[in-house]
Amino acid sequence: MTTPPESSSSAVHPYGSWPSPISAAAVSAASPRLEGARFVGIDGAELWWGESVPEERGRSAVRRRTASGVVEDVLPAPWSARSRVHEYGGGSWTADDDGTLFFVEKTDQRVWRLDPGSSPCALTPDDGDVRYGGLRLQHGRLLAVREDLTGASPARDIVQIPVTPPEEGTRMRPVSVAAGSDFVAHPALSPDGGHLAWIAWDHPDMPWDSAQLRIGRIQDGVVVDWTTAPVGAVAAGGRHSPLQPVWTSPEELVFADDPSGRWNLWRLRLDDVQAQPISPADADTGGPLWVLGTRWFAVLDDGRIVAVRTDGSDQLVVIGTDGSTRPLPVDPVTRLSVEDARGSRVLLSGAGAAGPGLWELDVDDAGAARAVVGGATPWGGEWMPRARAVTFPGPHGPVHAFDYPPTHPHVTGPADERPPYVVFVHGGPTDHVGGAASGKIAYFTSRGIGVLDVNYGGSTGYGREYRERLLGRWGVVDVDDVVAAARGLAESGAADGGRLAVAGGSAGGWTVLCALTTTDVFGAGISRYGVADLRRLAADTHDFESRYLDGMVGPLPAAEALYIERSPLSHLDRLRTPLLIEQGLEDHVVPPSQSEAVRDALAANGVPHAYLAFEGEGHGFRAAETQVRTLEAEWAFLGRVFGFDTPGVPSLILA
């Protein structure tokens, strides 16, 4: 399970030092970060997509593939289509069938219009810290989520933005269509323009805790009254989390909701007393609403529905008008999003066996989906490890994970040696990893380092009960589950229990720091912009997550003692494990002060460590040079700590 089969042509090298053609630069170039896609043109002949360009310091370009197959930029440099609503953005661009692009410019967060052959022109005024995202062009109207941070407290509403620029000397403002809650998302206009559906929720809930699907009647361009969509019997104390309303007629809409504990599809007519389930399944069509543009299903013109179903990994199905389902052959098995549909064609983004990409699929064609962007590697599929779904017993219940063993077509490790492993801890913490290797995973596994990607309790993709295992116990359940998975893998003989590392970013970095201050399982840690102090996080973080900790730990000030006790910053005297810290200096989610406090404590304790800080980077690294530097530094760090050579990368000096 852990090494390639022995053969006469296999060379033997120590684990961790295997020669590999997969460079950090190649990983950065072959890992497109896609941000929305759609068909453009009357017949949908052109495919447009958003893509982060690492070699341009993470600029978010909008690109297209023309009917003749030529790929070119629609949005030229230095323009960058990136929203900062909720800090995580999403829905930063859309387009009409005439080839006009509407986008949120990263630098000013205003909405701009770009006509073919012209320069961009602003559609929204320069009002200071006002942001737009979740753009939706529907029936000739441009709708968006507006986030106004100029007042004493943040305000959000759904607005209609004029699609033509104001005349010279005039000032045209967006019209507020719907408000009345702390947060809004997924605006959907009925085909006749008579109703608006949207998702709303309020502090202290996150959208996956409890939300509402609101349906309002529009009069003179604004919602004059609204009701909450009724669903079936609701479990979990009346809490459910609807997502993504889509109108199928002026009187009917389809949406995702989880009253049973699983996100499934529902159909509602405006005169219905209760919504009706559509082909229920023990899997999720839905997920955490971190990004405004994510879409889990699309309704085809003939009424069929193409939907993602997640139970560990993702599957794509087409649901017939009679409720029957048929799986569709696609490569992506995680992060799968149904971006757009036109006729029987759909655009899909996600990650598969060869990494992230964008695919086009004809539902009525028996063939496989066709890759538009990505979906292949420059180093060959034989270098990509195959995911193995594993489950380990833990103190709070089963722990789900994916194992990626060292993989090399020509090299194996010594027979008397077990490989080192890095345990990956995803962020969120309400998030999910599926069974698809990334370029980053292959960078490690091709060098003889295994990767265990853990969906600890609190992760999505396994239903609400598994997701809510973390409520009130963040810093306990996640740590216990990650430790249980690491120990279980070592006890199985797949990994060297003396050479286990743990790595994660943001909330995953929190789990790394908690694990290193409360257990002795790991011999090394890598924290990327990790949370170290819960009180500081609650005080400093942005509004979207400002009450997140109410559910994950407890409300302040009543739970202050618990915040202090759980925080790694309170126990840095216990931190004796070598640690690599990576931090963006423009991070507004987890400010640099948290990583700097950990660095200072490591120095005071005399613990080997390195601190890498990056100008211009926020919460997540987008620039190619940053991605290359961090990946090479992580391998060099593991080599220094675990005692193997790391040729070809800059040495890492530990303080």
Asked if the model's pLDDT at residue 11 lies above 50, the reply is yes
Average pLDDT over residues 448-457: 98
CA distance 525 to 512: 7
Tokens of 458: 């609190």
Give the total residue count for the chain. Answer: 655
Residue 25 sits at φ, ψ, to 5 deg, of -65, -40
Q: Backbone phi, then psi, for 83, in 5-degree steps?
A: -90, 150
pLDDT at 235 over 70: no
- pLDDT per residue over 295-330, tens digit each? 999 999 999 999 999 999 999 999 999 999 999 989
Q: Which pLDDT band holds residue 3 (cuts at 50, 70, 90)?
A: very low
**Which residues, 6+ apart, have CB-to-CB distance to 256 below 8 Å?**
242, 243, 244, 263, 264, 265, 266, 285, 286, 296, 297
Residue 368 is predicted with a pLDDT of 78
**Taking residues 35-48, what's their average pLDDT?**
94
Q: Identify the top-confidence range among 3-7, 162-166, 282-286, 379-383.
A: 282-286
Report residue 41's pLDDT band, with 50, 70 and 90 as the boundaries: very high
pLDDT computed for residue 169 by the predictor? 65
pLDDT per position as a tens digit, 410-435: 999 999 999 999 999 999 999 999 99
Give me the pLDDT at residue 212, please.
95
Whether the per-residue pLDDT at 573 is higher than 80: the answer is yes
pLDDT tops 70 at residue 577: yes
The average confidence (pLDDT) of the chain is 93
Among 107-111, 449-453, 508-512, 590-594, whose mean pLDDT is lowest? Answer: 590-594
Is residue 170 pLDDT above 80, yes or no? no
Share of the chain above pLDDT 90, in %: 80
What does the DSSP assignment read for 414-442?
A: -TT-PPPEEEEE-SSSS----S---HHHH
CB 54 within 8 Å of CB 116: no
CA-wise closest residue to 27 among 352, 378, 359, 335? 378
Q: Collapsing DSSP states into helix, strand and coil, what is residue 300? A: coil
pLDDT confidence bin for 9, thresholds 50/70/90: low
Question: Is the predicted pLDDT of residue 254 greater than 50, yes or no?
Answer: yes
Task: Say yes or no to pLDDT of 653 above 90.
Answer: no
Work out the average pLDDT over 565-590: 91
What pLDDT, on a 0 to 100 scale, did the predictor assign at position 232? 61
Place 331 in a pLDDT band, splitting at 50, 70 and 90: confident
**Residue 561 contacts by C-beta under 8 Å, 6 or more apart in sequence?**
none
Give the gyration radius of the chain's Cα atoms: 24
Query: For residue 193, which amino acid is it?
Result: G
Mean pLDDT of 624-646: 95
Contact by Cβ (8 Å): 335, 294: no
What percent helix, strand, coil does the chain show, rounded to 5?
20, 35, 45
Give pLDDT, residue 643.
Answer: 94
Contacts of 478 by beta carbon, 8 Å cutoff, 6+ apart: 425, 429, 456, 457, 458, 470, 511, 514
Is pLDDT of 374 > 90? no
Average pLDDT of span 171-197: 94
Q: With bands split at pLDDT 50, 70 and 90, how would you rate the model's confidence at 6?
A: very low
Give residue 233's pLDDT.
53
Q: How confident is the model at residue 123 (pLDDT cuts 50, 70, 90)?
A: very high
Contacts of 151 (CB under 8 A, 6+ apart): none
Mean of pLDDT values over 43-58: 90
